[in-house]
Chain A
Amino acid sequence: MGDHCEQTMRKLSVYIDRELSDAEVRSVKAHLDDCPPCEKVFDFQAEMKRLVRKECCTDDAPARLRDWVRQLATEKPPARDREA
């Protein structure tokens, strides 16, 4: 593994999170385009991030909670707020 690979691997998760500077993005991108093994690692880690999001986004708020919040947003505060 060359220096470039190591540098890229160190920055990989920050790159995936879109938190690198433009210059760093360009250098990581250039390396990934040139280096298939590093690109595979990138693909996998990016997919893991998507997987976490996808799996956790299946839990929607129960209808009763949604209704309760909607009621809060209307002009009359629900009972629990008036007690407080």
Chain B
Amino acid sequence: MNSDFSLFERHVDALYRSALRLTRKPEDAEDLVQETYLRAYRYRNRFKPGTNEKAWLFTIMTNVFRNRLRQRPAPTEPLDQPGTDFSIYDQLRREGMPVHLMSPEEIIVERGFGDEVKHALEELPLPMRMVVVLVDVEDFSYKEVASILGIKIGTVMSRLHRGRQALQKKLWEYSGRPRARPVAVGAH
């Protein structure tokens, strides 16, 4: 039976990087992953062979995390915000950047949007942050995320939508001076 447990071992990096986004502190992330594996070990007989072991581990981890949060809420957690329609691409187009002539990579490098992704993600309210991490970083399907978090697929989709827009808005703000360097349309 114990030998089966090695199946779970390979997800340690995925669990750790997600734990880091949730807790925002390396020592808390490490502790959360340990607790997750201890529970997985203790309840390993409940895992149905052939089902998705990564999703099973993430279900355990998000439950442990939410229980901990309930016991001692983090005072600095960002509050949930109403959704705002925001897209970096539209913003740049409005600003007059010749986005149609540039590759996405060029746009991202030029404006430094990649530099603050982790920071921006950690600033999202938790419900959105969890969904964005599970879908965009861990590549879970909507259905898997709904099952991991115990929410409806429609809720996964709306949180994802709001989360991505909020993330782009933060990246936009961090990239600084949105109107400092206007580029005239057709200048290039």
Q: Give Cα A54 to B164, complex, Å.
A: 15
Q: Is A19 an interface residue (CB 8 A)?
A: yes
**How many residues does chain A have at the interface if contact means C-beta atoms less than 8 Å apart?**
39
Q: Is B38 an interface residue (CB 8 A)?
A: yes
Q: Give Cα A44 to B108, complex, Å.
A: 9
- B164 in contact with A13 (CB, 8 Å): yes
Q: Give Cα A28 to B166, complex, Å.
A: 25
**How many residues does chain B have at the interface if contact means C-beta atoms less than 8 Å apart?**
50
- B88 in contact with A48 (CB, 8 Å): yes
Q: Is B5 an interface residue (CB 8 A)?
A: yes
Q: Give Cα A53 to B167, complex, Å.
A: 13
Interface residues of B in 78-124 (CB under 8 A from A): 87-89, 99-100, 103-105, 107-108, 113-114, 117-118, 121
Residues of A within 8 A of B30 (CB): 61-62, 65
Q: Give Cα A77 to B2, complex, Å.
A: 9
From B10-18, B45-53, B62-70, B174-182, the one touching the partner chain is B10-18
Q: Is A51 an interface residue (CB 8 A)?
A: yes
- A73 in contact with B9 (CB, 8 Å): yes
Chain B nearest Cβ from A28, distance in angstroms: 16
Q: Is B28 an interface residue (CB 8 A)?
A: no
Q: Give Cα A75 to B5, complex, Å.
A: 10
Hey, which bits of chain A sit against chain B, CB under 8 A? 13-14, 17, 19, 36-37, 40-41, 43-49, 51-57, 59-62, 65-66, 68-70, 72-75, 77, 80-81, 84
What are 13 A-B contacts defined by CB distance under 8 Å? Answer: A40-B100, A44-B99, A44-B104, A51-B113, A51-B117, A56-B118, A61-B13, A61-B30, A62-B26, A70-B9, A72-B9, A73-B6, A80-B34
